[in-house]
């Protein structure tokens, strides 16, 4: 972190950093699968009160907010993440909520409050991280709020658009539906365990494995393409992202849909590095996979008869998913091991045990 660059006030940062970084946004547009369009009329570069979009047809707009706790972001505090990384994370965490609705992200609004002493270069790094994540999903950062605060505070809202009737809710799962997840979970929690626990030495795992752990925080990916497949196929009955943990996600779909789930332990996707960290930490790997790990996979349900069709659609786009169980009429949610024994899902519940997660 350079401290030689100036720490300008808000109007100066608007003029020097924001204006140049966000020039020429107006006119960007998205076309949905039914031909309907949404066009950005007024973006961040206009420095108006709000961003403006023009819609046609009868699209659905989705809107969500997510907060990232800047300096209480533990891996940031420890120096494993830099200012660019937390900006990137803020945007992707917000886009993940849009992806989980099956929507195409069209805009981000960012709230960036910083200590008065934060140098312009550091502030610009936060914005660059946000901006690059926005570019990757094709949704510009159209404005928000900047200004000072006691410490770095990052919050954002994201907006997306879906064909009418296409939003993926948590409430549509039916008994018999297959329960699926787009990829392995537990990586973000393993990263926290590995880099913050003094009894695990740096270097206990390979450099490549360490990179996998760090990248779960440095370069999280909102699974927009996968969400769009789920939505436009019309086959998924429910969906949410795994940012509160796999267990919390499954519980939430169960609660909103009025079903239970049997989760097959052997079907859970698991990375070797997560297994390694579980062993080093003396904890059950399943509790890392299912607990409150802030990954951004999509958890969804699909009627059994459409499972193969959905797999083919995913493969056609270069995506995969894992079939990890099924919905039941009984409201219980259980983990079933290979020998047929069932038990409650292990893993820390959402925020109870770990209130300092973002």
Binding-site residue positions for ATP: 144-145, 170, 243
CA separation for the pair 220, 340 (Å, rounded):
35
Bridge partners of residue 261, in order along the sequence: 327, 333
CA separation for the pair 348, 340 (Å, rounded):
23
Tell me how far, at minimum, the Cβ of 205 lies from a second copy, in Å. Answer: 30
Residues numbered 228 to 287 that lie near a second copy (CB under 8 A) are 240-241, 252, 256
Q: Does 26 bind a second copy (CB under 8 A)?
A: no
Q: Does 162 bind a second copy (CB under 8 A)?
A: yes
Q: How many residues sit in the footprint of a second copy (CB under 8 A)?
A: 71
β-bridge pairing 37-42 and 298-302: unpaired
Judge whether 235 and 172 are in contact, CB under 8 Å: no
Q: Does 164 bind a second copy (CB under 8 A)?
A: yes
Judge whether 194 and 186 are in contact, CB under 8 Å: no
CA separation for the pair 290, 215 (Å, rounded):
19
Q: Which of 6, 29, 33, 145 binds a second copy (CB under 8 A)?
A: 145
Angle at 277 between CA 75 and CA 126, to 5 degrees: 20
Residues numbered 58 to 87 that lie near a second copy (CB under 8 A) are 58-67, 69, 72
Q: Which is nearer to a second copy, 54 or 312 (CB)?
A: 54
Q: Does 226 bind a second copy (CB under 8 A)?
A: no
**Coil, strand, or helix at residue 259?**
coil
36 DSSP assignment:
-
Q: Does 322 bind a second copy (CB under 8 A)?
A: no
Q: Does 197 bind a second copy (CB under 8 A)?
A: no
Bridge partners of residue 28, in order along the sequence: none
Tell me how far, at minimum, the Cβ of 215 lies from a second copy, in Å. Answer: 23
Tell me how far, at minimum, the Cβ of 191 lies from a second copy, in Å. Answer: 20
β-bridge pairing 141-148 and 260-264: unpaired
- Which residues participate in the annotated binding site for Mg(2+)? 49, 65-66, 97, 145, 241, 244
Residues numbered 165 to 194 that lie near a second copy (CB under 8 A) are 167, 169-171
Q: From the centroid of its chain, how far is CA 244? A: 10
Judge whether 146 and 102 are in contact, CB under 8 Å: no
The window from 84-92, 137-145, 216-224, 324-332 that contacts a second copy (CB under 8 A) reads 137-145
Query: How many C-beta atoms lie closer than 10 Å to residue 185's C-beta?
Result: 31
Judge whether 163 and 152 are in contact, CB under 8 Å: no
Q: Which of 1, 56, 206, 211 binds a second copy (CB under 8 A)?
A: 56
Q: Which is nearer to a second copy, 145 or 309 (CB)?
A: 145
Q: Which is nearer to a second copy, 205 or 299 (CB)?
A: 299
Tell me how far, at minimum, the Cβ of 210 lies from a second copy, in Å. Answer: 28
Angle at 219 between CA 213 and CA 225, to 5 degrees: 115
Residues numbered 89 to 118 that lie near a second copy (CB under 8 A) are 97-98, 100-101, 103, 107, 109-111, 113, 116
Tell me how far, at minimum, the Cβ of 170 lies from a second copy, in Å. Answer: 5
């Amino acid at each position: 972190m350079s401290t030689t660059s100036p720490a300008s006030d808000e109007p100066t940062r608007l003029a020097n950093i924001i204006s140049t970084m966000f020039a020429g946004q107006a006119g960007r547009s998205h076309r949905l699968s039914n031909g309907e369009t949404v066009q950005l009329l007024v973006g961040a570069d206009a420095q108006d009160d709000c961003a403006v979009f023009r819609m046609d047809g009868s699209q659905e707009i989705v809107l969500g907010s997510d907060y990232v706790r800047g300096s209480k972001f533990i891996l940031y505090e420890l120096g494993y993440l830099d200012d660019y990384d937390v900006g990137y994370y803020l945007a992707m965490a917000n886009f993940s909520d849009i992806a989980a609705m099956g929507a195409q992200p069209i805009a981000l609004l960012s709230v960036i409050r910083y200590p008065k002493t934060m140098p312009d270069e550091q502030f610009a790094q936060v914005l660059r991280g946000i901006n690059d994540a926005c570019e990757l999903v094709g949704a510009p950062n159209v404005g928000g709020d900047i200004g000072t605060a006691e410490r770095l505070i990052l919050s954002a809202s994201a907006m997306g658009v879906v064909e009418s009737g296409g939003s993926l809710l948590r409430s549509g799962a039916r008994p018999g539906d297959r329960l699926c997840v787009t990829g392995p979970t537990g990586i973000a929690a393993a990263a926290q365990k590995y880099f913050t626990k003094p009894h695990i030495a740096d270097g206990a795992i390979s450099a490549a494995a360490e990179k996998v752990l760090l990248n779960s925080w440095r370069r999280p990916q909102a699974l927009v393409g996968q969400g769009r497949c789920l939505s436009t196929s019309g086959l998924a009955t429910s969906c949410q992202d795994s940012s509160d943990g796999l267990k919390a996600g499954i519980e939430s779909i169960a609660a909103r849909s009025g079903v239970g789930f049997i989760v097959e332990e052997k079907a859970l996707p698991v990375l070797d590095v997560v297994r390694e960290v579980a062993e080093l930490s003396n904890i059950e790997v399943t509790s890392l996979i299912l607990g409150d790990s802030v990954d951004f996979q999509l958890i969804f349900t699909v009627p059994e008869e459409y499972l193969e069709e959905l797999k083919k659609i995913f493969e056609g786009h270069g995506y995969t998913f894992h079939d990890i169980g099924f919905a039941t009429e009984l409201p219980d949610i259980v983990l079933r091991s290979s020998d047929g024994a069932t038990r409650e899902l292990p893993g820390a519940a959402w925020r109870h045990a770990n209130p300092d997660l973002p």
